[in-house]
Amino acid sequence: MKAETETPDGVRTATVLFADLVGSTTLAEQLDPEDYRDLAGEAVSRVIAVVGEAGGRVVDVAGDGVLAVFDSPAAGVAAGERIPTVVASHAATFAADGAPDGPPLGVRVGVATGAVRFSHLVVSGHRRLRITGPTVDRAVELEAGAARGTASIDDATATLAAASQRHIPPTIHLPEATATRPAADGRSARDERRTIVALFVGIDALDADDAVAAVAAAATPIADVVERFGGTVKDVAGGSVVAIFGAPVAHEDDAARAVHAASAALEIAEEHGVAAKAGVASGTVVVGIIGGPEHAEYAALGDAMNTAARLHVAAPAGRVVATADVIAITSDAFDWSGVEHLQVKGKRAPLAAHTLVGVKASSRLAGPNLLVGRAHEIDALASHLADTRTGGSPVVLVQGAPGTGKTALVRHVMTSQHGTVARWVSVKAAPWEARDDLRLASAVARAVADVAGTRRAGDAIAFARSRRSARRHHHGDRRSARRDRPT
């Protein structure tokens, strides 16, 4: 296949291959995340290598599934027939070193040829190739119906491959340092264990006549909102957006961020006239690079990814469903329904899950007022307040690491000023809103207008917007001047 920059948008005939690991969900529950990465991550890497060697192009790696496209039907058939052998060989090597009870890791492959729509989405500033259409759906259906360890190839592909009289000789792929199961200390330096929160958002068009365009239109802003909440968009494939929170950058409130992003994604989908649902799960995974020279991706491998994927499939349309461990650490910020036990594919026991009901209107200034050894800081803040009444600076910045008592300090000074002329208002910004100055400025304007009653909040907000617009225009002029400056 051609390089991505040379792949034009449009519809043309191509061969699509979809390969999906079998038994990975059960194995992810049983294995340590690092062992699971050695098993499933390496299997996916070998599938990617087979596709590249046959002349194909990997379009997407979603969990333990690989979607690829070929110009030649014969090349697609050769790759499809070889993948089960490669995966079985790797699984046998892993089992020889000791594996859990039950069937070993396997794979199913579907290969179809026909009209394929090529398009691009811009995610995280990068153009990503997408392939859609009935041929892609057919390849996925063939994979689902294939027997374990086999490739299901449609008649059109088989006929075209035979007619082309092109034979790709079999090759033996022996990647460096992976001919046997990797040693515990032989893992990529970029691989690491992380506790993450996985988010899967499924998008379904309500109007089948315009499904591809509608889903694509919603997927980009959903990916954008995931990043606004501090998540990493892992995949935008078909009708799904897959994201992780907690890697490569972690936050103390990753679970809350993921739930906020899921809720916002459903609102975006509704605005674009499509239906959406989401699954959220937390757990320990191994993150790192999988693949090779042909195609490399940053991946998270572990039970949390599989669980979130299964939950989003089981979720009702327009709902966010999460596991009990997510609820345990977000119950102070969200209202959840009672527990439901869902029987999902690949899980031995039903999953305990809850459905998001709403966001709590909680305040950061709530809670006990405990201050020990802060007399100096209390006096300093009270002094600044006194100076403000006589024309001093109206701004005080209170800084400190999380948990050092910033909120308690401000609350103490606020509650100790009874009987003074001071009127207090409080607003808050979530951590992911740190760069959105207009949001906080608007909140301040509304609060002040409500207390003072001397200026409409709309006027104050418009003033805040005009100030930000002027500031951006000023900086833009300065950048233009630097560009136009003669050298």
User: In order of start, what are the domains of the chain with their CATH numbers?
Assistant: 1-166 (3.30.70.1230), 194-360 (3.30.70.1230), 363-424 (no CATH), 426-487 (no CATH)
Lowest mean pLDDT among 253-267, 276-290, 318-332, 444-458: 444-458
Is there a contact between 219 and 265 (Cβ–Cβ < 8 Å)? no
- Partner residues linked to 297 by β-bridges: 290
Ordered alpha helix ranges (H), 103-253: 134-145, 155-164, 211-228
Return d(Cα 85, Cα 99) in angstroms, integer.
19
| pLDDT average, residue stretch 186-193 | 59
Instruction: Give the Cβ contact number of residue 189 at 10 Å.
Output: 7
**pLDDT one-digit tens code per residue, 87-100:** 999 988 877 665 55
pLDDT classification of 103: cutoffs 50, 70, 90: low
Residue 363: is its pLDDT beyond 50? no
Return d(Cα 85, Cα 160) in angstroms, integer.
23
Phi, psi at 451, each rounded to 5°: -75, -50
**Strand pairing class (151-153; 106-123):** parallel
Q: Distance between the two ends of the chain, CA-based, in angstroms?
A: 43
Residue 4: is its pLDDT beyond 60? no
Residue whose entry in the numeric block shows the structure tokens 């449609």:
154
Strands (DSSP E) found in 265-412: 274-291, 296-301, 320-323, 334-336, 340-342, 351-359
Q: Which pLDDT score, from 0 to 100, does residue 175 have?
A: 40
Phi, psi at 318, each rounded to 5°: 80, 15
Residue whose entry in the numeric block shows the structure tokens 């082309």:
164
Two tokens, residue 333: 């910020």
Return d(Cα 70, Cα 18) in angstroms, integer.
11
**Strand pairing class (320-323; 274-291):** parallel
One-letter amino acid for residue 160 of the chain: L
Return d(Cα 422, Cα 399) in angstroms, integer.
23
Q: Which pLDDT score, from 0 to 100, does residue 236 have?
A: 80
Average confidence score pLDDT of the chain? 78
Q: Which pLDDT score, from 0 to 100, does residue 320 have?
A: 96
Nearest to 196, CA basis, from 240, 152, 130, 251: 251
Return d(Cα 60, Cα 42) in angstroms, integer.
16
Residue 68: is its pLDDT beyond 70? yes
**pLDDT one-digit tens code per residue, 439-458:** 667 777 777 676 555 555 55
Residue 486: is its pLDDT beyond 70? no
Ordered alpha helix ranges (H), 67-132: 73-96
Return d(Cα 51, Cα 295) in angstroms, integer.
9
**pLDDT one-digit tens code per residue, 206-243:** 655 566 677 778 888 898 899 889 999 888 876 788 99
Q: Number of H helices and number of E strands within the chain?
A: 14, 15
Is there a contact between 203 and 222 (Cβ–Cβ < 8 Å)? yes
Is there a contact between 76 and 111 (Cβ–Cβ < 8 Å)? yes
